[in-house]
């Protein structure tokens, strides 16, 4: 074992070339003092046995790195504890892999870019096309990986370059948890793109989190690398550099063809502006965003009691009002929207589909099914009506006797409604045999009701008369009418819901 300089340590260091030397030296499980990960050979150990270890790669990492993916400023290798800015008090988040750490970091003080040592060196080798650094890593074919039953690989693992599913293409998968598609390791550093002819696009870190000019999508986390032109603030995801020329989707009867363009366009499916990449159906003469190709045909929204259908245009004369029921702004019927044919209501596409918790997709096989009438009255039978058509004698699911309509507050004003448990007021139904009372409004409550603020989201709550319950909203005990969730069993008073 040869002694080396101390790499900033107060004692001399010994180089351990293999795991056997490391074991014979008496080293148990230890962490690298720079990257914080479990140490393995080749590595440096303190000759005085003081617990200082360095991976050979970490020890030899340059103190200053001119990284091609961040060409504006050099990256300096430093202890993260020495960074005095407030948001570094408990460590940092790597701008490539999004994992936190409190050890050494490659840091740009101007841009506040932070990279793990391994992330900085890994991406540097990719940028320099130094694929020899990956020669020790076995290539895995996607079919082999998924057939071996690696569910994590199928569903979760992403390529560190493009952040597409790892199992989609042949990929490198190393022991140090760096996963990379083979095609992403061989990406050109610079390219000319038809959507941005002013300057070439260069590979760079996706730390700004700007939306892709082709797919219009913004990643929730600033991960991986993208092609971009910093002076023009123009960025494209790696997967969008060469978008699919033709896309077919079951939601539309014809294929869509890609059109790359300089000028913006208005999407015929959602009515909002798109840039650079449009998909056109020449048969229907429509042009849409890529993401709008797969818009669901029919959805059930929490904002409306019926299903709503997507259409590319509507005739204005069919609608009394053209305001979106969600945002209350006018809907341009010359472009796509969601509408209810029964109620003549309309929604913007982006309003209807923005929050996945506010709607669900009606599957094609269930499109023709008649939806449950959630407004079915709890009055089971009308025995008699007056000349105005008002039900004067009824049967109600809550009671065994006939109920008679009255507005005689003077005689019955001291009675309580057996539905909401409040004093009788306005019109009400009463039982002449046993003193049962219901406000007219309580008697007409629907048997099923969507409670939008309930934790089970889209589940309809059923009207019940279970003995005693505690209302989830007001926390009071009651034995009146309640809406009960069939999913979680929770109750809400008919008065508070």
For the chain, give every domain's residue range.
3-59, 64-127, 131-185, 190-240, 246-288, 298-366, 379-443, 448-493
How many C-beta neighbours within 10 Å does residue 143 have?
10
Task: For the domain covering 64-127, report its CATH number.
Answer: 3.30.60
pLDDT above 70: percentage of residues in the chain: 80
pLDDT above 90: percentage of residues in the chain: 18
Rounded average pLDDT over 393-406? 90
Find the angle CA(147)-CA(158)-CA(42) to the nearest 5 degrees. Answer: 95
Topology of the domain comprising 298-366 = Wheat Germ Agglutinin (Isolectin 2); domain 1 (3.30.60)
Q: Do 216 and 274 form a contact (C-beta atoms < 8 A)?
A: yes
Q: Do 184 and 162 form a contact (C-beta atoms < 8 A)?
A: yes
Residue 151: per-residue pLDDT: 42
- Would the CATH topology of 298-366 be identical to that of 379-443? yes
Residue 172: per-residue pLDDT: 60
Residue 218: which residues within 8 A CB-CB, separation 6 or more?
Answer: 209, 210, 211, 212
Residue 142: per-residue pLDDT: 52
pLDDT in tens, 195-241: 888 899 999 887 666 778 877 777 655 567 889 898 888 888 888 88
Residue 17: per-residue pLDDT: 82
Q: Do 167 and 153 form a contact (C-beta atoms < 8 A)?
A: yes
Q: Do 166 and 179 form a contact (C-beta atoms < 8 A)?
A: yes
**Among 493, 487, 460, 463, CA closest to 475:** 493
Of residues 177 and 31, more confidence is placed in 31
Q: Does domain 379-443 have CATH number 3.30.60?
A: yes
């Amino acid at each position: 074992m040869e002694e080396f300089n101390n790499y900033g340590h107060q004692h001399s260091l010994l180089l351990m070339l293999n795991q056997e030397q490391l074991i014979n030296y008496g080293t148990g499980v230890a962490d690298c003092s720079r990257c914080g990960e479990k140490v393995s050979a080749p590595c440096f150990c303190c000759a005085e046995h003081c617990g200082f270890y360095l991976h050979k790669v970490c020890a030899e990492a340059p103190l200053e790195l001119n990284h091609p993916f961040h060409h504006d400023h050099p990256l300096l290798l430093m202890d993260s504890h020495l960074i005095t800015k407030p948001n570094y008090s408990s460590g940092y988040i790597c701008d490539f892999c999004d994992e936190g750490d409190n050890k050494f970091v490659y840091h740009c003080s101007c841009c506040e870019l932070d990279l793990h040592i391994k992330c900085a060196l890994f991406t540097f080798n990719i940028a320099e096309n130094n694929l020899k650094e990956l020669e020790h890593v076995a290539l895995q074919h996607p079919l082999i990986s998924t057939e071996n039953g690696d569910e994590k690989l199928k569903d979760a693992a992403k390529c560190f370059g493009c952040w597409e599913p790892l199992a989609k293409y042949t990929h490198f998968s190393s022991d140090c948890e760096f996963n990379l598609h083979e095609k992403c390791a061989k990406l050109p550093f610079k390219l000319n793109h038809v959507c941005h002819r002013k300057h070439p696009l260069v590979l760079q870190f996706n730390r700004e989190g700007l939306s892709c000019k082709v797919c219009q999508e913004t990643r929730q986390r600033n991960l991986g690398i993208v092609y971009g032109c910093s002076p023009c603030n123009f960025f494209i995801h790696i997967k969008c550099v060469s978008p699919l020329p033709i896309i077919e989707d079951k939601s539309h009867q014809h294929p869509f063809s890609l059109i790359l363009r300089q000028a913006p366009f208005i999407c015929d499916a959602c009515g909002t502006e798109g840039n650079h990449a449009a998909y056109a159906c020449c048969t229907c003469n429509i042009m849409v965003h890529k993401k709008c190709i797969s818009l669901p045909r029919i959805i059930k929204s929490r904002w409306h009691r019926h299903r709503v259908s997507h259409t590319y245009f509507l005739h204005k004369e069919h609608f009394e009002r053209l305001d979106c029921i969600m945002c209350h702004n006018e809907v341009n019927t010359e472009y796509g929207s969601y509408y209810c044919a029964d109620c003549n209501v309309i929604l913007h596409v982006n309003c209807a589909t923005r929050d996945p918790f506010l709607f669900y997709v009606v599957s094609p096989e269930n499109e023709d099914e008649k939806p449950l009438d959630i407004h079915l009255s709890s009055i089971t039978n009308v025995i008699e009506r007056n000349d105005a058509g008002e039900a004067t004698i009824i049967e109600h699911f809550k009671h065994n006797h006939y109920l008679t309509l009255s507005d005689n507050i003077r005689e019955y004003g001291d009675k309580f409604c057996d539905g909401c448990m409040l004093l009788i007021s306005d019109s009400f139904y009463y039982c002449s045999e046993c003193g049962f009372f219901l406000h007219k409004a309580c008697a007409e409550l629907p048997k099923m009701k969507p409670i939008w603020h309930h934790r089970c989201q889209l589940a309809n709550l059923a009207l019940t008369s279970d003995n005693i319950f505690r209302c989830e909203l007001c926390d009071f005990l009651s034995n009146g009418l309640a809406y009960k969730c069939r999913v979680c069993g929770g109750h809400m008073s008919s008065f508070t819901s």
